[in-house]
Amino acid sequence: MLRNGIALALACCVLATPVSAAEPHRLAFSKRLGVDVFALPNEQGEWCRSEMTLSLALSKDSPLMTSGIESFVPKLGPVFAQECPKAEKALVQAYKAENREPTGATYSATKTAGWALEKVSKEQAALPAPPPPMPKQKPKPKPAIPIASLAYSASAWNMILAYSKTKEDLLADENTIRAYAGTHDCGAFSDASRNEFKIKDYLTNIRSQLKAKADALGPYVKIAFRSKLGTYEPNKGAFNFEPLSKTISIPGEKEHCSRDWRQTPIRLFTLSWKPGNGIYGLPLEKAQAEAYVQKIVDDYWTKRAVDLEVIAKPIFLPMDSDGKVHVELELLEARAYESNDARRHLHTFTEAELIEGGRAWASAKAQAEKAQMKAEAERQQAEEQATQMRQARNDYRRLQYASLGTKIAYLVGNEKLDTLTTALGKSLAVGDNYPATFLVQAGKAGKTGVEASWPGRLTLNLMTDVPEFEKGKWYVVAGIMEVQEGNNGTPPTGKMRVVITKQCVQDMCAEAEDPITIIRDRYPDIDWSPEH
Amino acid sequence: MNKKLIGVLGAIAVLLGGYFALSSWASEQAVREVRIALLESNLDRAVRYRDVSASLLGGSVTLHDVEIRDADGRGNPVTAARVVVSDIEKDHDQLTAIRLRFEGLNISVLESARRPDDAGALLRLVSLDTRYELIGMGYSNLNGTVEVYGQIDPDLREARAEIEADFDGFQAMSGELAMSGVDRDVLKALIDAQQLLASQSIFSFLSKGPQVIEAASRLELMDLQLSIEDRGLHDRLQTTLAEKYLVPGDGDQRALEIAELAKRDVVNELFRRDSDPRIIQDVAKQVSGYVETGGTLSLTTNIAHPLPLFERGGMLGIKPAPVIQNFERFMLLADARLEH
């Protein structure tokens, strides 16, 4: 049904083109049902009227020949609404397309009745809808050159030669020529390479041969490879099959007689499929599928796989510094054969199947990538949580018997709490910019110039965009110290550029006494307890 | 009348001239003596001074603008405006007693922390963290007076040392030490021991080691008295301990809390060393009392029989005696008391 709808809708779009006044208007058609629907024009050439005259031309194998047109015409309602909104009523007659003879009664249908057909009386049928016109003979298209005849086999040297068409200096490179001769013309190359009087002409000759070979290569490449077959899905009428997901490689040269074959500037071709056409599933009749599966089970040499032969248009990308050339393949044709038996043809993918396969493959790939990303995110989260669990356990071991100062420093992620006296002394000795962590009580509210009423001798300046200090509140602060030497032996004083603050809940941050609380505060995403 | 006056004035002039002449001669003599003494004691590179003067009436020699470094002449110097050398006694040309008074002494704690590798032997005894703490308390420079007296009786083979130190705004300290088994051979062996440790040479150890071991094994403690008195450190130490123990507030209540925490630390430390609980409590009480109120803290001993400081054994052939190794043993055997 859906296919019918699509076909009809497509027909509407295609046929909504101006036609000459005398010609019937082809309103819709269905290949599957073997029917063409024509609206006949009046004398003025108008086919779209409040009362239309419709002729249905049925092919000889049309199922409507036996089932009748009663259930078909009401389905044209949306087409009428779109193509001819003013149509209220129609006179309908079906004919055999081959001889233009009526197939049955004449019907009338109204929009108000949902275009349901009603037989008309003989009197009313005095003016039946005339038969549809004979289809015009279309000019025969020129026979297209088969794509397969323009494709070359995907061997390493064929690919190199095809690539040389886009990279002219490749064949100018003597290493390329020597590499070819070392694999394809062993004896002659071996002799020539030892004779300095002949080698130059020899290489020139080989270069000419290669150029001619390159010129003779067609625009397409034929690649054969084997791919695993999934299970058969009766609903889809196809095997699960994703041959384009696997990495395919170009076979290299197996024989060579000189080390020069290694000198080819291209080390490797890497292949990927261009988005567009694709293969996703192997359509096969159930009986054929069952037979093939049985063969796989019975015959040891037949694997659960399919040998594919695909023809694609290669798009060569520039060679990278490692001598790798990446090739994007635009899939054009594909044929499937039984594994290990290229004579047994299984399926040839139609253009529509390749388009649909490309869509389905892209969609499946997107879903798989999404699932993979989700799984990766979940794995990372689990890993992070496991890491946090380990850290929490280690922290607990360290903090269980640690001093209050160490626990307070933990609140801001530092190892230990400094004493102001030592920090001032160290600052004076080693210079300014000494990093330190203190417990302080703010002597006043503000962001800068806040004197610490405890431990005293310290002025705080907030350097980050954090809430300002509140008078009398206790904080753990971390930052960089600057020191001012005291006069006449009085103790030095300090200024701190505070970059991290944490306001304590209780005086002197007494809440840090309990290591479990502060560890849970640090790792809120995990459900940690000392028993873990 | 005029003749009498002229006679008296002449006599005074002669006496003054003689005195100045003698003083000048004595100072020249002192310069020589000091130089020889420093050379003989291998301290000629360690001690530098601007000049030397001698006082005939006081019977002393004074070194001016003195810098004292390590024996090899390196390290950050401790400086003194004057070092007065007096009460010198000799027996058969050998020095048996000497008193040294360092006036205008300056110890730069800050410089020693800035260049820890050049801190000098004296300040290397103090950990770097403690030096940072002293600087943070405002003691970048310690200024004061130190007097040291040392005496050796070759016949009784006994040695006695006294020290009095007073640092402005910081701390005063006095101490007395008496040891037996000390004679010139022991002193020479002890100097050799210092060189042995410095050289770290197996050949030196093989040649001089036995004498050093023999000398050290004869050393015995006869008396030890130590006392420290607060000159201003207490208040600043209170602030530092409040930061360390995280004690808020100020005044007596804070001092009391800090003293309790200090007492707890002392008890824990001594308990870790398996000391006698009565000694632990007594020592902790005296220390916490000093931490709370300052004042004086003194260690007195009442040694009935001299206590050996070293005994034979161990890898080097000699090792510290239990009286040195174990605090509890020291307190019991020396009948020692800590008092605040």
Mean pLDDT of A394-409: 91
Strand partners, B103: B82
> Is A518 within 8 Å of A399 (Cβ atoms)?
yes
Q: Which residue of A has its CA nearest to B130?
A: A422
A388 within a domain of the structure (yes/no):
no
Our count of domains for chain A comes to: 3
Average predicted confidence (pLDDT) for chain B: 86
Tokens of A415: 């190892």
Q: Kindly report the number of other CB atoms within 10 A of residue A504's CB atom.
A: 19
DSSP 8-state secondary structure symbol assigned to residue A510: G
Considering only CB atoms, which chain B residues are within 8 Å of A421? 133, 136-137, 239-240, 243
Give me the sign of the Cα torsion angle A29, A35, A40, A45.
positive
Amino acid sitting at position A167: K
* CATH number of the domain residue A494 falls in: 2.40.50
- Residue B155 vs residue B191, higher pLDDT: B155
CA B141 to chain CA centroid, Å, is 18
Task: List all residues 6 or more positions away from B133 whose beta carbon is below 8 Å from its beta carbon.
Answer: A419, A421, A422, A425, B240
pLDDT at residue B107, rounded to an integer? 94
Do A84 and A171 belong to one domain? no
Report strand pairing: A434-442 vs A474-484.
antiparallel
Percent of chain A, pLDDT > 70? 88
The 10 Å CB-count burial string (b at 16+, else e) for A270-300 is ebebbeebbbbbbbbeeeebeebbeebeeee
Confidence at A18, pLDDT banded by 50, 70, 90: very low
A395: amino acid identity, one letter: D
What size, in residues, is chain A?
532
A422 within 8 A of B133, measured Cβ to Cβ: yes
3-state secondary structure at position A302: coil
Cα dihedral B278→B280→B282→B288 (10° resolution): -160
- Does residue A382 form part of some domain? no
Assess whether pLDDT exceeds 60 at residue B88: yes
Q: Are residues A294 and A198 part of one domain?
A: yes
**Residue A263: its pLDDT value, please?**
63
Structure confidence by residue, pLDDT tens digits, B6-56? 777 777 777 777 766 777 777 777 788 888 888 887 788 889 999 998 887
Shortest distance between the Cα of B291 and any Cα of chain A, in A, equals 17
Inter-chain touch A425–B240, beta carbons under 8 Å: no
Domain shared by A120 and A152, yes or no: no
SS3 label, residue A250: coil
8 Å CB contact of B248 and A454: yes
Q: Which among B137, B246, B248 is the nearest to A421, CB-wise?
A: B137
Chain B residues within 8 Å of chain A (Cβ atoms): 110, 113-114, 129, 131-141, 168-169, 236, 239-240, 242-244, 246, 248
* CA–CA separation, A362 and A370 (whole Å): 12
Beta-carbon separation of B242 and A455 below 8 A: yes
Do the beta carbons of residue B160 and residue B178 sit within 8 Å?
A: yes
Is residue A164 located within the same domain as residue A117? no
Out of A425, A490, A508, closest to residue B135 by CB: A425
Return the residue matching tokens 């930052």.
Answer: A479
Condensed to tens digits (0 to 9), the pLDDT of residues A127-183 reads: 555 666 665 555 566 666 778 889 999 988 899 999 998 888 889 988 889 888 888
Q: How many CA atoms lie within 13 A of B150 on its CB side?
A: 8
* pLDDT value for A57: 87
Q: Tell me how close the Cα of A492 comes to any Cα of chain B, in angstroms.
A: 6
Cβ within 8 Å of residue B148, ≥6 positions away: B99, B100, B101, B102, B161, B162, B163
Of A126, A160, A176, at which residue does a domain stop? Answer: A126
**Which of chain B's residues have a Cβ under 8 Å away from the Cβ of A422?**
129, 132-133, 136, 240
H or E element that contains B151: strand B141-153
Examine the pLDDT at A6 and tell me if it is beyond 70.
Answer: no
**A437-478 pLDDT, tens per residue?**
999 999 999 999 999 999 999 999 998 788 899 999 999 999
Closest partner residue to B138 (CB to CB) among A455, A492, A508 is: A492
Coil, strand, or helix at residue A280? coil
B/e letters for B231-250, b = 16+ CB within 10 Å, e = fewer, are bbbbebbbbbbbbbbbbbee
| Residue A431 counted as domain residue | yes
From the CA of A428, how many Å to the nearest CA of chain B? 8
Q: Is the domain of A327 the same as that of A457?
A: no
Residues B67, B77: contact at Cβ < 8 Å?
yes
Chain B: residue whose CA lies nearest to A455: B243
- DSSP conformation class of A446: B
B237's CB contacts (< 8 A; 6+ apart) are B137, B291
| pLDDT at residue A138, rounded to an integer | 58
**Structural domain contains residue A452:** yes
What sign for the dihedral angle of Cα A483, A487, A488, A492? Answer: negative
Contact A429 B135 (CB under 8 A): yes
Cβ within 8 Å of residue B340, ≥6 positions away: B286, B287, B289, B290, B293, B295, B296, B297
Confidence of residue B324 (pLDDT cuts 50, 70, 90): confident
Measure Cα distances from B48 to B25, B30, B116 in Å: 22, 15, 22
Q: A425 and B244: CB-CB below 8 Å?
A: no
CB-CB under 8 Å, B236 with A491 = yes
Say whether both A189 and A241 belong to one domain.
Answer: yes
Q: Which domain holds residue A500?
A: 404-522
Give SS3 for B240. Answer: helix
pLDDT of res. A426: 92
Over pLDDT 70: what percentage of chain B?
93
Q: Which residues on B lie below 8 Å from A404 (Cβ)?
A: 246
Of A425, A454, A491, the CB nearest to B132: A425
Q: Extract the tokens encoding B313.
A: 């054994």
Whether residue A132 lies inside any domain: the answer is no
pLDDT at A17: 37
Q: Which of A441, A455, A492 sits opposite B243 (nearest CB)?
A: A455
Report field, pTM of the whole predicted structure over 0.80: no
pLDDT tens for B252-307 read 899 999 999 988 888 888 888 777 888 888 899 999 999 999 999 999 999 999 99
Residue type, A70: E
Per-residue pLDDT tens over the stretch A104-133: 888 888 888 888 888 887 656 545 556 666
Residue after which a domain boundary falls, among A333, A349, A365: A349
Q: Which residues of A touch B236 (CB under 8 A)?
A: 491
Interface with chain A: mutation pick from B108, B243, B264, highest number of A CBs within 10 Å: B243
Contact B114 A405 (CB under 8 A): no
Is A100 part of any domain?
A: yes
Minimum distance, in Å, between the CA of residue A468 and any CA atom of chain B:
22
Whether A46 and A81 map to the same domain: the answer is: yes
Question: What is the spatial distance between Cα B267 and Cα B330, in angstroms, rounded to a whole number?
Answer: 17
pLDDT at A20 over 60: no
pLDDT at residue A21 in the model:
45
Per the CB < 8 Å rule, is B239 touching A421? Answer: yes
Domain shared by A183 and A331, yes or no: yes
Chain B positions touching A441 (Cβ under 8 A) are: 248
| Pair (A156, A114) in one structural domain | no
Examine the pLDDT at A13 and tell me if it is beyond 50: no
Q: Which of A58, A92, A126 is the last residue of a domain?
A: A126
- Are residues A112 and A179 part of one domain? no
**pLDDT classification of A7: cutoffs 50, 70, 90:** very low
Measured between alpha carbons, how far is A100 from A130 in angstroms, rounded to an integer?
Answer: 9
- Tell me whether residue A45 is in a domain: yes
Read off the DSSP letter of residue A137.
Answer: P
Report for A523-532, B79-88, B214-223: range of highest mean pLDDT: B79-88
Report if residue A393 sits inside a domain. Answer: no
Please list every residue in chain A whose beta carbon sits closer than 8 Å to the beta carbon of residue B243. 419-421, 455
* A49 and A84 assigned to the same domain: yes
Q: What is the pLDDT of residue A113?
A: 86
- Mean predicted confidence (pLDDT) in A43-70: 85
Looking at the fold, whether A100 and A154 belong to one and the same domain comes out as: no
Q: What is the pLDDT of residue A52?
A: 86
CA atoms within 13 A on the CB side of A2: 0
The pLDDT confidence band at residue A3, using thresholds 50, 70 and 90, is very low
CATH number of the structural domain spanning residue A71? 3.30.300
Contact B159, B97 (CB under 8 A): no
The 10s digit of each residue's pLDDT in B205-217 is: 666 777 778 878 8
**Residue A368 distance to chain B (closest CA, Å):** 58
Q: Which site among A416, A418, A419, A453 would you substitute to test the B interface, given the most B Cβ atoms closer than 10 Å to its Cβ?
A: A419
Q: In chain A, what residues touch B141 (CB-CB under 8 Å)?
A: 489
Structure tokens belonging to residue B49:
């001074």
Q: Which residues contact A18 (CB under 8 A, 6 or more apart)?
A: none
Q: Given A422, A429, A455, which is nearest B110 (Cβ)?
A: A429
Contact A489 B134 (CB under 8 A): no
